[in-house]
Amino acid sequence: MKTRISMLFMFALGILTIGAITGRAQITNQIEFKMSQPFTVANTTLPAGSYVIKPVSGTDQTMLEISGVGGTPSVMVEVDTIQPDAAKGGSHVTFNKYKNVLALSEVFPGRANSGYRLVQGHPEKLAAKTEQPTKQSVPSTVK
């Protein structure tokens, strides 16, 4: 009897461990990408250049920091977890392109089962009132 309870406990522990591993954050270190033109993140416009995306410690993956490779400029933004685009494989970031606004919209780490949708900032909300965006994907690398 004691052996069966032990086996059941070990089985349940194994299932819980697997669930915790698959449910944990997908960005474990950082994602890097390069942009050839300025873009907005939330309410901040960032210049063209190389950028790093990493989770903000202590936020349970609800906040990401997007910063230049050298550390500046930097902005933090709220995110929601989303399912990946089945047509696109690998690590990439997606932008919503409007006439006068290019806004970082989604982040996909690639090897993960989910990605992140950034909360829209004021410039993107204004642009979305008058026009539909086109999607623009940029490859990224997980470091």
pLDDT, one tens digit per residue, over 97-136 is 999 999 999 999 876 668 899 999 999 999 999 999 999 9
84, with CB counted inside 10 A (0-12, 13-18, 19+), is: middle
Tokens found for residue 11: 């089985």
pLDDT in tens, 10-59: 444 444 444 433 444 455 678 999 999 999 999 999 999 999 999 998 87
For residue 100, CA distances in Å to 37, 82, 117 come to 12, 26, 21
Query: Is residue 103 within 8 Å of 119, Cβ to Cβ?
Result: no
* Residue length of the chain: 143
pTM: 0.75
36 Ramachandran zone, left/alpha/beta (phi>0; psi -120 to 50): alpha
- Domain ranges, ordered by start, for the chain: 26-142
